[in-house]
């Protein structure tokens, strides 16, 4: 059985390797990640993870793994920032507040059935000063990241509290991923 990673994220690949999974190939899924009207954060992240897995063609001897991560402040979904102004808005919203990082994993097994798991991690940032927000925006690290931050990078300095899956906040909850791979019969190294 061969594993296909439906993601070009170097972070997801690194996290997979940490649990002994080496993809036979990597495919870039082409899906619309726009939030639909009235869509709640949990439903959104699960839908996108499933759509990413289904967007990749799969041979009979392959299983496909995809993931998606989003940040939720209440019912608001903070996707990837569109520009620096959007990043500043997001950091201001997260400043001194508790939020949820939802990280969904979808595995399509040889039977073609998508199976999912979700990690819900509570994260609290310290109250951020204007200078800290300026510093982080200038670093460029938050662009292209859900919620506008990378917990494994400079944003870790803002972390006051985390309850849940650190790897889920990075982009792939390894506990949930391992469970899906084992249930599919994939041999981990």
Residue identified by tokens 């300095």 is 157
**Residues sharing a CB contact under 8 Å with residue 8, sequence separation 6 or more, in sequence order:** 26, 28
Whether 68 sits among the annotated catalytic residues: the reply is: yes
CA distance 74 to 99: 7
According to DSSP, the residues that pair with 125 across neighbouring strands are 159
CA distance 61 to 187: 14
Return left, alpha or beta for 140; rule: phi > 0 is left, psi -120 to 50 is alpha, else beta. Answer: left
Backbone angles phi, psi at 78, to 5 degrees: -105, 100
Residue identified by tokens 């903070």 is 78
Sign, CA dihedral 130-136-139-144, equals negative
State the catalytic residue, choosing from 68, 86, 111, 134. 68
What residues are labeled active site? 68
């Amino acid at each position: 059985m061969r594993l296909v990673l439906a993601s070009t994220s170097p972070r997801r690949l690194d996290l997979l390797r940490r649990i002994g999974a080496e993809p036979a190939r990597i495919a870039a899924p082409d899906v619309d990640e726009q939030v639909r009207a009235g869509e709640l954060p949990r439903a959104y992240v699960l839908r996108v993870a499933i759509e990413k897995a289904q967007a990749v063609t799969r041979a009979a001897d392959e299983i496909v793994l995809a993931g998606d991560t989003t940040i939720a402040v209440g019912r608001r979904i903070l996707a990837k920032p569109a520009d620096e102004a959007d990043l500043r808005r997001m950091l201001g919203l997260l400043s001194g507040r508790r939020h949820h990082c939802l990280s969904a994993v979808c595995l399509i097994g040889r039977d073609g059935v998508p199976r999912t798991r979700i990690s819900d991690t509570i994260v609290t940032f310290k109250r951020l000063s204007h200078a800290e927000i300026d510093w982080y925006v200038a670093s460029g690290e938050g662009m292209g990241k859900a919620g506008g931050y990378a917990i494994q990078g400079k944003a870790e300095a803002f972390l006051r509290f985390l309850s849940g899956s650190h790897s889920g906040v990075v982009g792939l909850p390894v506990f949930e991923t391992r469970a899906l791979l084992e249930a599919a019969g994939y041999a981990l190294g």
